[in-house]
Structure formats: C-alpha cells, structure tokens
C-alpha cells in the first residue's frame, strides 16, 4: 500500500481533509509512540482508520493518506485535495 503525501499541514486541517476523503464517515484513531533508543527521541504518529483499514497518518506537521482504503473515487479525492490543502 502506497501513501500519498499531503506535505506540511496542521493536524486539524489534515483531519478535516481526511474526513472529507473518507466520505464524511466516522474514522477510527490511534496514537503510536515510536521511541528511538539510539537518538533518545520520541516521535508520535497519529493513525486513522476506516472499515477498509489504515487511511491516513499525521506526524511532525506532515500528513499522508492511503487512497486504496478510501471509499470515494479519485476524481473526488483530487477535488478535495486541491480545495483543502493550502
């Protein structure tokens, strides 16, 4: 499964965009903490799901979505992305 990067985006804007991409259906959510023991750093990754599986991730000001798990068509996805991402 290949992710499509939305680039720099605020978490709230990403969630709004992903909600529209998910045909305004309720999404599942999970927060994952990834700790790098060598660097002694922690990265939080926000994961979003629908009935088809993993639909998006957001971390450190960047977002990605997985179009194969979204239920709406590609023409609608392009329309939403072009309107929603600044």
Q: How confident is the model at residue 86 (pLDDT cuts 50, 70, 90)?
A: very low
Where do the structural domains in the chain lie, given as residue ranges? 4-84
pLDDT digits (tens, 9 = 90+) for 25-80: 999 999 999 999 999 999 999 999 999 999 999 999 999 999 889 877 566 766 77
Identify the burial level of 2 via C-beta atoms within 10 angstroms of its C-beta, where 0-12 means exposed, 13-18 middle and 19 or more buried: exposed
pLDDT digits (tens, 9 = 90+) for 48-60: 999 999 999 999 9
pLDDT (0 to 100) of residue 54: 96
Tell me the two tokens of residue 64.
Answer: 């990605």
**What Å distances lie between residue 38 and 35, 43, 60, 86, CA to CA?**
9, 13, 19, 36
pLDDT (0 to 100) of residue 75: 64
In Å, how far from its chain's centre is CA 44? 13
């Amino acid at each position: 499964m290949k992710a499509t990067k939305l680039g720099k985006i605020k978490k709230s804007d990403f969630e709004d965009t992903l909600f529209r991409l998910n045909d305004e259906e309720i999404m599942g959510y999970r927060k994952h903490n990834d700790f790098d023991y060598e660097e002694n750093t922690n990265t939080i990754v926000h994961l979003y799901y629908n009935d088809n599986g993993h639909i998006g991730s957001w971390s450190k000001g960047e977002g990605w979505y997985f179009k194969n798990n979204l239920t709406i068509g590609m023409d609608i996805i392009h329309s939403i992305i072009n309107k929603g991402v600044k």
